[in-house]
């Protein structure tokens, strides 16, 4: 048992040491992708956590603290249910647009498609407070455009991280993907710790969170401009192991 405990502690220490080393030595191209993903997922988590409450309060004019079975409470519950249709609409956009990613990135390149879709999602989320009192169908249509940002965020940056690992550092591929994934986790922690304070400051108004989330997505779309990548699309090209590393790095 003592040997098992010692082995577990050693393994834990090695993992933490490797992660710490990875964060201090993360390649520049991956670090720039991490910045984009961090700000993008701040926006997404603002939406995932607070959009349903926004629908209940401001689209259906309900009150979450009203007594059960009252009109105010029932309106809030209907708003929460309606928000599920907004999430479904985002998923539909995401699924359909995913079929177009390869031809679009071939035609325009990764950065224009990635940044453009994040900008569309940012505008869609940031104008959500304008929808207060609007018909629920209009709100769902407007918010469905967030699906464009979700689609590219779950594919394009991951293709860059994977490509880098395949080309230059296959032994640490798992480390770089773990570090990149942690950017999404850090965004979730950040929103969980900070967003609630803004809600309280603005008298339980989740509308301000929609604006903050949309602004964060717009920042992410601008940070895409700093990402360097030499692929015209996220399809992987054949890797020649004899290729000159320094020559290829110059293209990144």
In tens, the pLDDT along 154-192 reads: 999 998 888 887 777 677 777 888 889 999 999 999 999
Query: What is the rounded distance in angstroms from the CA atom of residue 133 to the CA atom of residue 35?
Result: 35
Tell which CATH classification among 3.30.1280.10, 3.20.20.370, 3.40.50.850, 1.20.1250.20 matches the domain 27-224.
1.20.1250.20
Assign 140 a pLDDT band (cuts: 50, 70, 90).
very high
Mean pLDDT estimate for the chain: 85
Residue 159 CB-half CA count within 13 A: 22
What is the mean pLDDT of the segment spanning 41-54? 96
Assign 7 a pLDDT band (cuts: 50, 70, 90).
low
Please determine, for residue 244, whether its predicted confidence score (pLDDT) is greater than 50. no
Query: What is the rounded distance in angstroms from the CA atom of residue 252 to the CA atom of residue 160?
Result: 10
Assign 148 a pLDDT band (cuts: 50, 70, 90).
very high
- For 188-225, give the DSSP string: HHHHHHHHHHHHHHTTT-THHHHHHHHHHHHHHHHHGG
Query: What is the rounded distance in angstroms from the CA atom of residue 191 to the CA atom of residue 45?
Result: 7
């Amino acid at each position: 048992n003592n040997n098992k405990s010692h082995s577990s502690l050693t393994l834990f220490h090695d993992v933490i040491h490797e992660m710490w080393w990875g964060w201090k030595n993360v390649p520049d191209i991956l670090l720039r992708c991490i910045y984009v993903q961090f700000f993008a997922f701040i926006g997404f988590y603002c939406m995932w956590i607070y959009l349903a409450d926004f629908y209940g309060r401001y689209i259906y004019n309900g009150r979450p603290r009203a007594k059960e079975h009252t009109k105010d409470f029932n309106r809030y519950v209907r708003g929460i249910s309606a928000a599920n249709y907004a999430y479904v609409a985002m998923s539909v956009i995401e699924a359909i647009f995913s079929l177009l990613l390869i031809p679009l990135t071939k035609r325009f390149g990764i950065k224009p498609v990635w940044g453009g879709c994040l900008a569309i999602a940012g505008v869609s989320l940031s104008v959500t407070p304008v929808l207060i009192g609007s018909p629920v169908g209009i709100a769902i249509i407007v918010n469905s455009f967030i699906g464009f940002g979700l689609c590219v965020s779950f594919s394009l940056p991951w293709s860059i991280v994977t490509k880098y690992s395949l080309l230059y550092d296959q032994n640490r591929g798992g480390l770089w993907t773990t570090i990149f994934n942690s950017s999404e986790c850090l965004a979730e922690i950040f929103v969980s710790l900070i967003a609630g304070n803004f809600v309280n400051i603005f008298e339980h108004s989740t509308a301000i969170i929609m604006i903050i989330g949309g602004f964060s997505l717009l920042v992410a779309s601008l940070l895409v401009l700093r990402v360097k990548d030499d692929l015209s699309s996220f399809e992987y090209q054949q890797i020649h192991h004899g290729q000159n590393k320094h020559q290829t790095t110059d293209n990144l």
